[in-house]
Amino acid sequence: MSEIVRFGVSLEKELLEKFDILIKEKKYPNRSEAIRDLIRENLVKREWIEGKEVAGAITLVFDHHKRELVNILTDIQHDFHTLIISSQHIHLDHDNCLEIIVVRGKPTEVRELADKLRATKGVKYGSLSIATTGKELV
């Protein structure tokens, strides 16, 4: 386990009060865990900016009755097969499907794939959730 280092932080009282409310809302056990999480979140963003190998999830919602849409989405995914680790297709109701595509690779390529999928006519909603491979984090 890593060595724990204690340090002091000076904040405006109002800012600390708002932070404590946030900590309670998010169910953190203490300030230290919340601060660790904030630091890690920013380190993950930095991995994406610096172009390191990253992971993420692309989420799509679409009408599977839309002519050729499923085939187009599949063709796009095949064009980026080296990035895709896994995908899951869920039938939300008679008309709508949710697809979650887990990816790993260079941020520019992952974003390109997400953008192509989201921009496909017939996709009702698309998002990219950025994550990390964990290699750079403690």
Cα separation, 121 vs 50, whole angstroms: 31
Q: Mean pLDDT, to the nearest integer, of 67-89?
A: 97
In eight-state DSSP terms, residue 52 is -
Query: Could you list the residue range(s) of the whole structural domain that residue 62 is in?
Result: 54-132
% of the chain exceeding 70 in pLDDT: 99
Residues 103, 82 share a domain: yes
Cα separation, 100 vs 90, whole angstroms: 8
- Binning pLDDT at 50, 70 and 90, where does residue 1 land? low
Position 30 pLDDT exceeds 70: yes
Residues 66, 124 share a domain: yes
Residues 71, 123 share a domain: yes
Tell me the β-bridge partners of 63: 96
Q: What is the pLDDT of residues 91-124, one digit of tens each?
A: 999 999 999 999 999 999 999 999 999 999 999 9
Q: What is the pLDDT of residues 6-15, one digit of tens each?
A: 999 999 999 9
Q: Mean pLDDT, to the nearest integer, of 48-53?
A: 96
Q: 58-85: string of b/e by CB count within 10 Å (b at 16+)?
A: bbbebebebeebbebbeeebeebeebbe
The predicted structure's pLDDT at residue 2: 77
- Mean per-residue pLDDT of the chain: 96
The 3-class secondary structure across 56-73, one letter per residue, is EEEEEEEECCCCCHHHHH
Q: Mean pLDDT, to the nearest integer, of 16-35?
A: 96
Residues 86, 30 share a domain: no
Residues 87, 28 share a domain: no
C-alpha distances in Å from residue 49, one per residue of 62, 84, 106, 116: 30, 20, 10, 20
- pTM above the 0.95 mark? no
Residues 38, 102 share a domain: no
Quote the number of domains for the chain: 2
Q: Within a domain: residue 100?
A: yes
**CA 65: distance to chain centroid?**
28
Q: Find, among 119, 113, 111, the residue nearest to 69 by Cα.
A: 119
Position 35 pLDDT exceeds 80: yes
Residues 73, 125 share a domain: yes
Q: Within a domain: residue 73?
A: yes
